[in-house]
Copies of this chain bind each other. A is one copy, B any other.
């Protein structure tokens, strides 16, 4: 469970998970934010890239790799009219250290096709229940 509370400023919210970690959700000043934290659409990209990066790191380690770095760059292209959903997402994965390229590729494919729960939620939408 995650809860978000309005911070009292602009349209900025503070999100908290059950362990007490906090994230500021905000947007640029032109849209009424204070530009002090990640925008929701960027958090969607973080969520997806984080999920795949963690999968890849876990899987290549099991194959004996010793990574010294793992970087994921991700960007989305938005629909020009409402809803401004992502119509394309591009990402780039770069690893450094001692590993076999085939193991990295296999780890990526396993994440994409089997393990990444964020990717599997996008495109196979859950049921939604709300109370307001």
- Taking beta carbons and an 8 Å cutoff, which residues of A are in contact with B? 1-6, 11, 13, 15, 17, 19, 21, 23-25, 27, 31-33, 35-51, 53-54, 57-58, 67, 69-79, 82-94, 104-105, 108, 114-132
Contacts and interface: CB of A to CB of B under 8 A. Distances in A.
B69 A6 contact: yes
B128 A89 contact: yes
Number of copies: 2
30 contacts: A1-B75, A3-B74, A4-B73, A6-B67, A6-B70, A13-B49, A13-B70, A17-B42, A23-B23, A23-B38, A25-B53, A31-B58, A32-B54, A33-B54, A79-B117, A82-B115, A83-B116, A84-B120, A85-B121, A85-B126, A86-B121, A86-B126, A87-B126, A88-B126, A91-B130, A92-B131, A94-B132, A104-B132, A122-B125, A122-B126
